[in-house]
Structure 1
């Protein structure tokens, strides 16, 4: 079902109301940190339930819910790198490991910012073609194949501490691909890190740390877009409910992901993504999804 427009921005989530947005908040919080695409699920779940599309601005703004979970789980990494990088700058020690990692994270954020700005008109427009179920289904299957290839071919030996600026830039380019619904920021960066030889749990750690600036910028940018579009007080209160619920769900999701990749592998996500993509394309083809 098509979403609603406010000054050209898709704000379909407002009409969904508090209860439905709370449900989507749970889905968002879980899927944002798992490599299965939260944006895709923000489109798929309403489609299956017969609800209208909450819109891309809602999906992007809701990414902010993941920040607390990631920062708390990797608190030592975040504080260590931040404090170490600032101390290195003060000492002009630009060979310091923390400074180089912070620089790498900054460089890795550039591609998603550039492509995000370039595609913002298409991503945020009402009934964006990039949010079609065909695009999401195809992206899900392609990413399932890439993640499977990484599982089979990767060496799984490297750790985050020996990452290079080249690693950051390549994973940053992969992160930019997540602008396409169905790709998944977590999934694309996790896959790229495993292709570069990182252990599964280290690839997940790398993915989360590298994604903090991108998640923050995307969420804040969408809040700004909604503010410029003149979102109503009711709209802001509905969005806040979604963010609170999603934040709680995100805590569970990050522990789940780390437990799976540490003890097993990423194959459960490969199977899920392949099945989801196939189901979506079949549903569109046979006419029971639209």
Structure 2
């Protein structure tokens, strides 16, 4: 992989991982459009590590409070501070963990086509529009285990390329009446264990490979992904406090129509 390809793909990963527009779709489509070779497993691991660094850096106070209070609650055997929210994040991660474990290979083989990405981009974009129009003002303190589990089931749908992990979790939270900021915050907190799990699985696969690794390219990809993802989270959290999800819905609809026009309805 050339350095400029690493920069482009890492920028795309960082900018799309936390926006409701699907990073996996963009990482599949860009090499397709530019006729680049697949970036490979090692690079995927590197850019996901970068995204993880970004979300941990932005939400470090939240993450520290969740870990601290969760450990204290286990010791005292009673809810403490943010321990309830920590349990919500754990429960919300279970469905996608199970789906990835049992269905990951099926998704890789059957669902990585341009038409699947196009229809998922359109369908989940329209659902995001409906959820955003519904509106709501509920805060995360009103989240229950059942709601967290249901949002987690939505998150499992993000295994479909084009669905968008952040998009489906934000959509689910909006449908249940949570505010945009609360929906995005829970979505980003849910991303942490998901990226850790996905990165861990890919990391184990990477260790089994015998081919050479371009460490300088991986470091560049991780760094660019981290910086772009941090900037993206900062911008997105400020934006949704003032406006709706309409720009992202419009982008998804435009991208979906473009893909169907370029690749056809059954590509």
Which of 76, 95, 115 aligns to 2:99? It is 115
**Larger displacement relative to structure 2 (61-70 or 165-174):** 61-70
Say whether residues 1:153 and 2:97 are aligned partners: no
Higher relative contact order, structure no. (Cα contacts within 8 Å, ≥ 6 residues apart): 2
Q: CA deviation at 1:119?
A: 2.1
Residue of structure 2 equivalent to 1:50: 35
Number of aligned positions between the proteins: 267
**Structure 1 residues 146 and 56, CA gap change in structure 2 (3 angstroms):** farther
Which of 217, 223, 226 aligns to 1:247? It is 226
Question: What's the TM-score, normalizing by structure 2?
Answer: 0.93
Instruction: Report the Cα distance in structure 2 between the residues aligned to 1:225 and 1:123, rounded to whole angstroms.
Output: 17
**Superposition map of 1:53-202 within 5 A:** 53-54=38-39, 58-59=43-44, 62-93=47-78, 95-96=79-80, 98-124=82-108, 128-154=109-135, 156-202=136-182
Q: CA deviation at 1:129?
A: 3.2
SS, match of residue 190 in structure 2: helix
**Structure 1 residues 285 and 107, CA gap change in structure 2 (3 angstroms):** same
**Larger displacement relative to structure 2 (82-91 or 192-201):** 82-91
**Structure 1 residues 37 and 231, CA gap change in structure 2 (3 angstroms):** farther
Instruction: Report the Cα distance in structure 2 between the residues aligned to 1:285 and 1:57, rounded to whole angstroms.
Output: 31
Which of 197, 204, 229 aligns to 1:217? It is 197
Instruction: Report the Cα distance in structure 1 between the residues aligned to 2:27 and 2:265, rounded to whole angstroms.
Output: 22
Residue of structure 2 equivalent to 1:37: 22
Which of 249, 263, 266 aligns to 1:270? It is 249
Question: What's the TM-score, normalizing by structure 1?
Answer: 0.86
Instruction: Report the Cα distance in structure 2 between the residues aligned to 1:231 and 1:262, rounded to whole angstroms.
Output: 46
**Structure 1: which 5+ runs fail to align?**
1-15
Instruction: Report the Cα distance in structure 2 between the residues aligned to 1:273 and 1:55, rounded to whole angstroms.
Output: 26
8 Å Cα contact 2:41/2:206 also seen in 1: no
8 Å Cα contact 1:159/1:199 also seen in 2: yes
**Structure 2: which 5+ runs fail to align?**
none
